[in-house]
């Protein structure tokens, strides 16, 4: 794992967080480590609220370009805290899920990319998180499953309609209807994850650094272009929407001009924090 010893200065103080740890592998990369190892990093209502604040802060913080999420212990995330879920559903006033969904990623509308570094068990809501992340790396021992059908519930955090676009109908049906465990190697072959690496956090950091080297504006706008297609919009309509909504913002910013000027002047570009 890459050393994590950078203490950057931020425009706004990071939000307080209890059920995860925040660290910074470099000045512009945020690493979020789920930290309930005894509970296999199951996320409770407090955890969802905390993560919502964290990802929102990352999007608003000019010095951060990329986020990474991983887990402490033998699990990435084994899903929802079912003990709390059972208690809350017997309550007359259960705590609502944030609009950004499970782990504040399953229905997140944020701008900056998030990479999942799956270190172990990735079940239920944890699997829904990685389906909705932008890229996924996994350790050789990582395992993936949507076991909701085995408990009489369903995956409602946005994974099912998106999963079919990622790995295709037959494989999506297999995961959703059987609940079987898919090992990392098979998940990579299916296209559910990018690749399997021994040092999963270190690999995610290196990938994040490649992204962070680029224009923050261009990264955000390119990500939106891919998302439009992934969300099921046709190619022609998606291109039109992207050009009308996002390309003008790119043109109006400083980083596009800087990138072109740097190329002409044969130097490294000096990016400014995105204002998108």
* Chain segment 9-68, per-residue pLDDT in tens: 888 999 999 999 999 999 899 999 999 999 999 999 999 999 999 999 999 999 999 999
Count of domains observed in the chain: 2
Please indicate, yes or no, if residue 86 is contained in any of the structural domains. yes
**Structural domain boundaries, residue 64:** 20-212
Residues 146 and 247 in one domain: no
Please indicate, yes or no, if residue 39 is contained in any of the structural domains. yes
Please indicate, yes or no, if residue 28 is contained in any of the structural domains. yes
Mean pLDDT lowest for which of 56-65, 125-134, 222-231?
222-231
Q: Are 103 and 54 in contact (CB under 8 A)?
A: no
For residue 151, what are the contacts with CB-CB under 8 A and spacing of at least 6?
Answer: 82
Residues 88 and 61 in one domain: yes
Residues 58 and 149 in one domain: yes
pLDDT at residue number 127? 95
* Chain segment 70-102, per-residue pLDDT in tens: 999 999 999 888 777 666 655 556 667 788 888
Say how far apart CA 114 and CA 31 lie, in whole Å: 10
Please indicate, yes or no, if residue 14 is contained in any of the structural domains. no
Residues 223 and 199 in one domain: no
Show which residues are catalytic.
Answer: 80, 125, 128, 148
Residues 230 and 175 in one domain: no
Residues 155 and 95 in one domain: yes
Segments of the chain assigned E as strands: 20-26, 29-34, 66-71, 75-77, 114-118, 121-123, 135-138, 143-145, 182-183, 195-196
Residues 104 and 232 in one domain: no
Please indicate, yes or no, if residue 276 is contained in any of the structural domains. no
State whether residue 111 is helix, strand or coil: coil
- We report the CATH number of the domain holding residue 97 as 3.90.226.10
pLDDT band at 3; cut points 50, 70, 90: very low
For the chain, percent of residues with pLDDT exceeding 90: 59
Q: Are 66 and 29 in contact (CB under 8 A)?
A: yes
Pairing mode, if any, of strands 135-138 and 75-77?
unpaired
Residues 39 and 72 in one domain: yes
Please indicate, yes or no, if residue 271 is contained in any of the structural domains. no
Residues 206 and 244 in one domain: no
């Amino acid at each position: 794992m890459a050393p994590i010893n950078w203490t950057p200065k931020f425009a706004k103080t990071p939000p307080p967080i209890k059920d995860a740890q925040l660290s910074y592998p470099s000045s512009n990369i945020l690493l979020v480590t789920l930290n309930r190892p005894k509970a296999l990093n199951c996320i409770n209502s407090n955890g969802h609220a905390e993560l919502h604040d964290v990802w929102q802060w990352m999007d608003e913080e000019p010095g951060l370009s990329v986020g990474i999420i991983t887990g402490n212990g033998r699990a990435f995330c084994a899903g929802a805290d079912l003990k709390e879920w059972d208690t809350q559903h017997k309550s007359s006033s259960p705590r609502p899920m944030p609009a950004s969904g499970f782990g504040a990623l399953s229905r997140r509308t944020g701008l900056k990319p998030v990479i999942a570094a799956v270190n172990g068990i990735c079940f239920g809501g944890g699997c829904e998180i990685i389906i909705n992340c932008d890229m996924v790396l996994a350790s050789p021992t990582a395992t993936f499953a949507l076991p909701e059908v085995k408990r009489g519930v369903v995956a409602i955090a946005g994974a099912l309609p998106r999963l079919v676009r990622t790995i295709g109908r037959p494989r999506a049906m297999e995961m959703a209807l059987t609940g079987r465990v898919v090992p990392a190697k098979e998940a990579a072959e299916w296209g559910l994850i990018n690749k399997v690496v021994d040092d999963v956090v270190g690999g995610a950091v290196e990938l994040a650094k490649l992204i962070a080297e680029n224009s923050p504006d261009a990264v955000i706008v390119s990500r939106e272009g891919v998302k439009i297609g992934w969300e099921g919009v046709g190619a022609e309509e998606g291109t039109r929407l992207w050009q009308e909504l996002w390309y003008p913002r790119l043109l109006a910013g400083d980083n596009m001009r800087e990138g072109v000027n740097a190329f002409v002047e044969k130097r490294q570009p000096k990016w400014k924090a995105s204002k998108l």
